Amino acid sequence: MEHPLYVIVFFSLLLGLTRCAGNMKTFPQDFEFGAATSSYQIEGAWNVDGKGWSMWDHLVRTTPEHIVDMTNGDTAAKSYFFYKRDVQMLKELGVKNYRFSISWPRILPYGRPDYVNPYGVAYYNALIDELLANGITPFVTIYHWELPQNLNEQGGWLNDEVVNWFGDYSRVLFQNFGDRVKHWMTINEPHVHCHLGYEIALIAPLISVPGVAYYECSRNILLAHARAYRIYEAEFKSTQRGEVGFVTCMEWGVAESNSTNDKDALENFQALTIGQHMNPIFSESGNFPQKLIDLVNSASIRQGLNESRLRPFTQEQIESIRGSADFLGLNHYTSRIIYRNESLNGTFPVPSIYDDTFYGDYPHPSWFFHGGYVYEYPRGFYDLLIHLKDNYNIPKIYITENGAPSLRGEGRLNDTHRVRYFREYLSAMIDAIDEGVNVRGHFAWSLMDNFEWTLGYTVRFGIYDVDMEDPERKRTPKKSALVYKEIARSRIIDYNYDADPYTPSAASGRNLSIFITLLLATLKVLL
């Protein structure tokens, strides 16, 4: 270097690169990005082209007051008509994957394969072909809470026959779309679906038989999932060469204190909300967690019953369920503080899943509240992923839903709170990957504003704004869409995750590699 100016420039860049490397986290080269939706929440066209009634179509007509803003999904974002615009949005984002669900009653209006609706098949064929033509891989959810009303009236998820109904429906989808769809997810969020739909009657089908219906629903969902998996394995996998996964939604629990009561409460929380659906598929036992089996059995005996309300699996059923997933689809939004003290005495219905597990929960007051049910605690995401790695034999994980709703009072497009949420949660996820968690991809929830079940349109999770007053349902990218696009493009988060201090060993190594790469590039320019 002949001139002092070169020295000054070199050391200035060196200082800047050091700071930059310290604030960067990178994704693995094969990591995939995508966005997610579900059929009832975006499609509309509730009675168009031969579609049958779902239990949600029935709910919004018979008890419209159950939706907080008295709205419904009859029209929603009109994706049935504007699916090509949806695909354009995915291209604008630069993501290569789209998770969407297929409406059971749009394909089988009466629930059974006696009649397959050709218009429903044509719609999903058109959507899948449009995705593939634009270089976007479809990840298809077979069931996202749209049970045909005809089957709901026959007992739905409380009728053991639903296992065969779901298997037959899944076979129709494999036959019609499996030549192009290589990533299937059977059933979305069994704990949420059974808890809100069959324990406390918050969502369709509005059934409340506490301590009984929830367990029956969960049991049948696991058996139905396994039925679909084994059908694909036996009849389609050798020719279609796809994979079938299972989707759960998990909150992370943090014990309020180190007391024996609180730690035991946390174990009960994990057995119910995580282990109940993870253990049968991903553990060697192939069965419910022993902790949960013992809790429900003891409570049932206290209540004078001759057998447990948690009906056991047969050995044949255990063998069918065990190992019945090629990947885990993990939906995660928030965490809870878990506790147990005398204030809980006498507060739970008997029987109920709350009385069985006997824990209380609440969000920590320091966690930022986004609205709906989402409290921001990214450390919980990291801890959950580490817990799954340490406790289960999971082939691979896709984060199939993760996001935050709109904050009241904030501009619809300038969603800075959601930007922070994504950066912090993605940063926590990278730290878990650096610790050996096999996370292969992340799907932002949601691609666009949609009908948020009983919350109607009062909260919006979309990274694209949808003008619900516009007949054309104009879609406009929010700030979060632009930031997510840049993260997917650069594969870097230029943000130092420090919401809760911890230092996984591999993270610093990865940042060092970034620094060395940038330093060598700088030397090449200067010399």
- The per-residue pLDDT string of the chain (527 residues; one tens digit each, 9 = 90 and over) reads 444 544 444 444 444 444 344 578 999 999 999 999 999 999 999 999 999 999 999 999 999 999 999 999 999 999 999 999 999 999 999 999 999 999 999 999 999 999 999 999 999 999 999 999 999 999 999 999 999 999 999 999 999 999 999 999 999 999 999 999 999 999 999 999 999 999 999 999 999 999 999 999 999 999 999 999 999 999 999 999 999 999 999 999 999 999 999 999 999 999 999 999 999 999 999 999 999 999 999 999 999 999 999 999 999 999 999 999 999 999 999 999 999 999 999 999 999 999 999 999 999 999 999 999 999 999 999 999 999 999 999 999 999 999 999 865 567 899 999 999 999 999 999 999 999 999 999 999 999 999 999 999 999 999 999 999 999 999 999 999 999 999 999 999 975 544 443 333 333 334 444 444 444 444 444 45
Give residue 504's pLDDT: 33
Q: Which of 199, 401, 424, 452 is catalytic?
A: 401
Identify residue 175 by its one-letter amino acid code: Q
Distance CA 152, CA 138 (A): 28
- Domains defined for the chain, CATH in brackets: 1-24+494-527 (no CATH), 25-493 (3.20.20.80)
Contacts of 434 (CB under 8 A, 6+ apart): 504, 505, 506, 507, 509, 510
Is 32 noted as a catalytic residue in this protein?
no
DSSP-based helix, strand, coil % in the chain, nearest 5: 45, 15, 40
Q: Tokens at residue 436, please?
A: 């050996």
Distance CA 461, CA 446 (A): 6
pTM greater than the 0.85 cutoff: yes
Q: Name the packing angle between helices 416-434 and 479-490 (round to 10°).
A: 30
- Computed from CA positions of residues 85, 91, 92, 95, in that sequence, does the dihedral angle turn out positive or negative? positive
Q: Which of 32, 43, 146, 189 is catalytic?
A: 189
Helical residues (DSSP H) of 72-194, grouped into ranges:
79-93, 104-107, 118-133, 149-152, 162-177, 190-194
Q: Tokens at residue 406, please?
A: 């709109």
Give residue 412's pLDDT: 87
Give residue 523's pLDDT: 46
Give residue 406's pLDDT: 86
Distance CA 27, CA 58 (A): 44
Distance CA 377, CA 385 (A): 14
Distance CA 79, CA 63 (A): 25
User: By C-alpha distance, which of 301, 300, 306, 280 is closest to 211?
Assistant: 300
Give residue 409's pLDDT: 57
Beta carbons of 461 and 404 less than 8 angstroms apart: yes
Give residue 56's pLDDT: 98
Give residue 495's pLDDT: 58
Give residue 522's pLDDT: 44
Number of H helices, E strands in the chain: 20, 17
Give residue 410's pLDDT: 67
- Computed from CA positions of residues 501, 504, 505, 508, in that sequence, does the dihedral angle turn out positive or negative? negative
User: By C-alpha distance, which of 242, 253, 467, 245 is closest to 339?
Assistant: 253
Distance CA 269, CA 403 (A): 23
Residue 461 CA, distance from chain mean position? 13
Q: What is the rounded (10 degree) CA torsion for 135, 244, 218, 283?
A: -130
Distance CA 212, CA 349 (A): 12
Residue 348 CA, distance from chain mean position? 28
Give residue 363's pLDDT: 98
Distance CA 16, CA 20 (A): 6
Give residue 211's pLDDT: 98
User: By C-alpha distance, which of 450, 402, 452, 427 is closest to 510?
Assistant: 427
Neighbouring C-alpha atoms within 13 Å toward the C-beta of 412: 15
Q: Tokens at residue 459, please?
A: 């909260």
Return the residue matching tokens 């130092």: 496
